[in-house]
Amino acid sequence: MIFGPVNGCGRTGIFVNVEKLSNFSDFEELDLLDDILDALDDAGYEEPTPIQQQAIPPLLEGRDVLGIAQTGTGKTAAFSLPVLQHIAETETGKGKRRIRALIVTPTRELAAQIGESMKGYGKYLNVKHTVIFGGVKQGRQVDALRRGVDILIATPGRLLDLENQGHLSLSDVDFFVLDEADRMLDMGFINDIKKLLKLLPKQKQNLLFSATMPESIEDLAGSFLSKPVKVEIAPEEPTVEAIEQKVMFTSKADKKRLLPWIVDEYDMERAIVFTRTKHGANRLVKELSKKGVNAAAIHGNKSQNSRTRALQNFKDGEIRLLVATDIASRGIDIDELDFVVNYDLPNEEESYVHRIGRTGRAGRDGIAISFCEKEEGAYLRDIERLIGFEIEVDEDHPYHDASAIPSEHDSKAKKKKRDRQKRKAEANGDSGQSNNQRQNNNGNGKSDNNGGSKRRRRRGGRGRGSNKSNKSNSNSNSNSNSSSGNKPKRKRSNPPLTKR
Ligand code: AMP
């Protein structure tokens, strides 16, 4: 068996099996108990999904698993079936049932959903489970725990709360599943998870599922998984080529002006706007409402109710812009969405593909517009490396900032190095600006548009740059003066922004 580092997991030193993974096309080949196979039959499942094919065999062998997959891939069965089989095969006989499998998941909806699935998959087994989550009285949950369960499905807060009150013990857990780990961290559960890990026995089988693999999840995975097998299911790949993509270079401060400008310019009826942080999303919604653009934010700090309401209002056309963070945007499935705006570029290039894949669905055209300020140049270059082509630059807008254009060879690694040097220079009382940057700047903080624009013009160098943009931006010294070109969704005139 070959072991190697998980992509990007070098920091935490996780080693995983990179052997070619199994490809079972039948549940019968997976060595599942007949009682489970019967239940799957009843559920109408004919064959395992890819994540089930890959995760079930190592889990049945007792291995730790690091699963990268989203809801909708069949991941619940991927961990529930081995959990049920493990409990059924290691029945402890008479006496009160003890919690031997713990599944922790971020939201009560997910917890309830897993509970329902467990009920179906385990209908022919002598295995008991219960679900506990916050926001409701604890009485019935405590009663169920008192009667004894084999499998506990829980959200972190209520779990720790009931453990703290002595209503449950985690000392017999030998199968631990951490579901939707990235969402959990996004919702601020990291300290709860750390506390929880301390309460669990060291000797146990572990499974972590996450839709994305940022460094924080790598660290978390490294803290409790032991030689995990990594299984990964790429989410349905949107065909990025079908989506018209543009990047607009601007300054950080001008992004909030550029957004209403493009909403009007492209006559956007509905768009999802991505920000990197929850606070950024809230701030932006306030800015937009000052300018008369109806918008709502959805992110991990918003209650389930408020997210559902925002989404409904968006679908009904009452809200024009839905401002979302990456994780909150998962599960947003709107077929008629023409525009995605990356207000902030994601620092993980895969997120770019997921974000823009929200548009261009069901055979429709889609436009993805990304704002890029100086600090994000490295992200842009990494995204372009991933998608395999350079994104068309649109400098035909009043807030163009050529100094935000990164070099061809920029990357996150180089950015990190630059940031380190900058910090050092600042500590030494220097401005931290490189000679290059000093030369490019034209004295007012904006660099010479002229040279930059020419250098960066791509894909046949669409020479755009309208009178309008020259008129409306006293800061911009772009001298590109060709006509507006062939832009199907872009308006010719520029009426004042109105609330719709
Ligand atoms: P999940 O990603 O676990 O939320 O599952 C998404 C949906 O797929 C649920 O409705 C499951 O019931 C269904 N599902 C899971 N595994 C299978 C399978 N092997 N065949 C058919 N449907 C499945």
As to burial, measured by CB atoms within 10 angstroms (0-12 exposed, 13-18 middle, 19+ buried), residue 439 is: exposed
Whether 32 contacts 56, CB under 8 Å: yes
What would the two tokens of residue 119 be? 């009920």
- Give tens-digit pLDDT for 330-345: 656 566 788 999 999 9
State residue 468's pLDDT score: 33
Residue located via tokens 């909150």: 328
Confidence bin at 241 (pLDDT 50/70/90)? low
What would the two tokens of residue 34 be? 């007949």
Q: Which of 47, 49, 80, 333 to mutate to test the pocket of ligand 1 (most atoms within 8 A of CB)?
A: 49
Distance 74 CA to ligand 1 centre (A): 4
Domains of the chain in sequence order: 2-232 (3.40.50.300), 239-406 (3.40.50.300)
pTM over 0.75: no
- Give tens-digit pLDDT for 362-408: 556 789 999 999 999 999 999 998 888 899 999 999 999 999 999 87
Of the chain, the end-to-end C-alpha distance in Å amounts to 61
Distance 112 CA to ligand 1 centre (A): 15
Section 31-45 average pLDDT: 94
pLDDT greater than 90 at residue 114: yes
Instruction: Provide φ and ψ at 340, rounded to 5°.
Output: -125, 135
Calculate the CA 428 to chain-centre distance: 38
Residue located via tokens 């943009």: 469
Classify 387 in phi/psi space as left (phi over 0), alpha (psi -120 to 50) or beta: alpha
Q: How far apart are CA 93 and CA 152, in angstroms?
A: 19
Confidence bin at 453 (pLDDT 50/70/90)? very low
CB 45: neighbour CB atoms within 10 A? 17
Residue 57, H or E segment:
helix 50-60
Q: Which residues contact 188 (CB under 8 A, 6 or more apart)?
A: 300, 301
CB 417: neighbour CB atoms within 10 A? 11
Distance 36 CA to ligand 1 centre (A): 15
State residue 407's pLDDT score: 86
Section 445-457 average pLDDT: 32
Is the alpha carbon torsion for 482, 487, 489, 492 positive or negative?
A: positive
Ligand 1 nearest atom to the CA of residue 73, by list position = 2
Residues with CB under 6 A from ligand 1: 45, 48-49, 52, 71-77
- pLDDT, mean over the chain: 79
- % pLDDT > 70, the chain: 76
DSSP codes of every residue in 285-335: HHHHHHTT--EEEESTTS-HHHHHHHHHHHHTTS-SEEEE-HHHHTT---S
Is the alpha carbon torsion for 264, 268, 274, 278 positive or negative?
A: positive
Residues in the chain: 500
Nearest residue to 163 via CA among 152, 174, 150: 152
Distance 56 CA to ligand 1 centre (A): 14
Q: If you take atom 6 of ligand 1, which residue's CA is the nearest one?
A: 72
Ligand 1 nearest atom to the CA of residue 46, by list position = 20
Distance 65 CA to ligand 1 centre (A): 19
As to burial, measured by CB atoms within 10 angstroms (0-12 exposed, 13-18 middle, 19+ buried), residue 37 is: middle
pLDDT greater than 60 at residue 125: yes
pLDDT greater than 90 at residue 126: yes
